[in-house]
């Protein structure tokens, strides 16, 4: 039973006020207790009367009746003629409800919340003590002090250092824990309020981040636009291509080659007075392009017309009078230099794989059977021969690939590849 009771808590009224509190007689509570204990000792010897914790309540009750009767008779002495009359009883209750004084058991008051209209309580307010059963005795672990002016509010003083939890930790009420409990405790808010604050903060942070990114991109765009304007300052936008302008009716587009950064790239033919019809590649600027995109497109054309190198695609002309704007360039039949580079890399990889397979096959046919690494460690001559053969094969294949690439390039006009504005590395 003691183990079952260990740690349980109970409530009780506070029997006496603070020792320093002054009561109706002008004495403090401590003096009243001393006098009460003295009289109880004398009565115990004569009438076998013991000390009671409720003596303070009884003493204050007598004072309540005495003060109420005193006010009642002062108001109208005729009330004393018939104390059981209805009007006398109602007046007596009204006087009791209006009392307010400090008694032995605490402050005596039967009204509350005077700011919102007087409300009468059927019982007085007093401090409440929280007890915990520890090791066979009760220990005071908290005190609740109600506020006389408010019906449902007060102050709770908890003595946490005196509380003993049998399980070792404070139990909860079984409700679900908040997912942001740490932040909730820090902000001292409810879980819902904390989540709202967190979402608002995250949304605000994301909005601020997007705004900063927008400002950075805007600044970058404006800087780029200023650079382009500086480049074209003093140059009429289309007059610099007067010597390169080709009538649009001399350009015939007959197929689509792909998509570029500014628009679609087409294949077709162009009629030149000195060469006749020539196969060309036509880069177009998409309709509705911004000023910045037009400047970039024409800047590329301006740069390409200044290059004269056998390994760079030549600009043959432009069509800028009407939209869409065209840049007419040489057409390379065999595509980009990237394709040739990829072919060389694939050939080399295939050769390496073939060499490794040959080495493994030769090594696994010898006795005893060793791995390739073991043969290399022991210096077997068979492996050396295999490696030498493989190296020779790789070199031969690479030479053949390079020769093929050179032949392909030579086959094209002036041995240059289709590298748009970029040097081919030969």
Query: Which residues does the annotation place in the binding site for ATP?
Result: 283
Instruction: Give the 3-state secondary structure of the chain.
Output: CHHHHCCCEEEEECCCCCCCCECCCCCEHHHHHHHHHHHHHHHHHHHCCCCCCCHHHHHHHHHHHHHHHHHHHHHCHHHHHCCCCHHHHHHHHHHHHCCEEEECCEEEECEECHHHCCEECCCCCCCEEEEEEECCEEEEEEEEEECCCCCCCEEEEECHHHCCCCCCCCCCCCCCCCCCHHHHHHHCCCHHHHHHHHHHHHHHHHHHHHHHHHHHHHHHHHHHHHHHHHHHCCCCCCHHHHHHECCHHHEEEEEEEEECCCCEEEEEEEEECCCEEEEEEEEECCCCCCHHHHHHHHHHHHHHCCCCCCCCCCEEEEECCCCCCEEEEECCCCCCHHHHHHHHHHHHHHHHHHHHHHHHHHHHCCCCCCCHHHHHHHCCHHHHHHHHHHHHHHHHHHHHHHHHHHHHHHHCHHHCCCCCCCCCCC
Question: How far apart are alpha carbons 120 and 116 in whole angstroms?
Answer: 12
Residues making up the annotated binding site are: 283
Torsion sign over Cα 7, 11, 13, 18: positive
């Amino acid at each position: 039973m003691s183990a079952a009771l260990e740690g349980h808590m109970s409530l009780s009224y506070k029997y006496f006020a603070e020792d320093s509190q002054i009561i109706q007689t002008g004495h403090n509570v401590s003096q009243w207790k001393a006098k009460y204990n003295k009289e109880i000792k004398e009565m115990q010897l004569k009438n076998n009367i013991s000390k009671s914790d409720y003596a303070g309540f009884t003493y204050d009750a007598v004072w309540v009746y005495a003060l109420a009767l005193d006010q009642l008779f002062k108001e109208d002495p005729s009330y004393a003629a018939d104390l059981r009359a209805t009007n006398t009883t109602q007046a007596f209750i009204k006087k009791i409800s209006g009392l307010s004084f400090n008694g032995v058991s605490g402050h005596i008051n039967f009204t509350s919340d005077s700011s919102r209209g007087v409300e009468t309580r059927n019982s007085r307010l007093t401090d409440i003590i929280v007890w915990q059963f520890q090791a066979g005795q009760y220990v005071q672990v908290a005190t609740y002090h109600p506020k006389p002016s408010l019906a449902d509010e007060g102050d709770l003083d908890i003595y946490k250092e005196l509380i003993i939890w049998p399980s070792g930790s404070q139990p909860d009420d079984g409700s679900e824990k908040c997912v942001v409990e740490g932040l909730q405790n820090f902000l001292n808010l409810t879980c819902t309020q904390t989540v709202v604050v967190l979402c608002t903060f995250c949304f605000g942070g994301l909005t601020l981040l997007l705004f900063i990114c927008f400002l950075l991109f805007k600044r970058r765009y404006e800087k780029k636009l200023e650079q382009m304007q500086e480049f074209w300052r003093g140059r009429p936008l289309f007059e610099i291509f007067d010597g390169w302008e080709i009538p649009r009716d001399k350009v015939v587009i007959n197929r689509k080659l792909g998509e570029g950064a500014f628009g679609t790239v087409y294949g077709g033919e162009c009629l030149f007075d000195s060469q006749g019809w020539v196969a060309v590649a036509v880069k177009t600027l998409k309709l509705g392009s911004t000023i910045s995109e037009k400047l970039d497109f024409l800047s590329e054309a301006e740069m390409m017309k200044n290059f004269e190198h056998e390994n760079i695609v030549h600009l043959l002309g432009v069509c800028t009078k009407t939209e869409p704007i065209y840049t007419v360039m040489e057409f390379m039949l065999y595509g980009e230099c990237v394709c040739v580079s990829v072919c060389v890399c694939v050939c080399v990889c295939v050769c390496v794989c073939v060499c490794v397979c040959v080495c493994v096959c030769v090594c696994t046919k010898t006795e005893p059977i060793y791995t390739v690494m073991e043969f290399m460690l022991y210096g077997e001559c068979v492996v050396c021969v295999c490696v030498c053969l493989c190296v020779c094969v790789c070199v031969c294949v690479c030479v053949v690939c390079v020769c093929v690439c050179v032949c392909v390039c030579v086959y094209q006009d002036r041995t240059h590849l289709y590298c748009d504005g970029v040097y081919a590395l030969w």
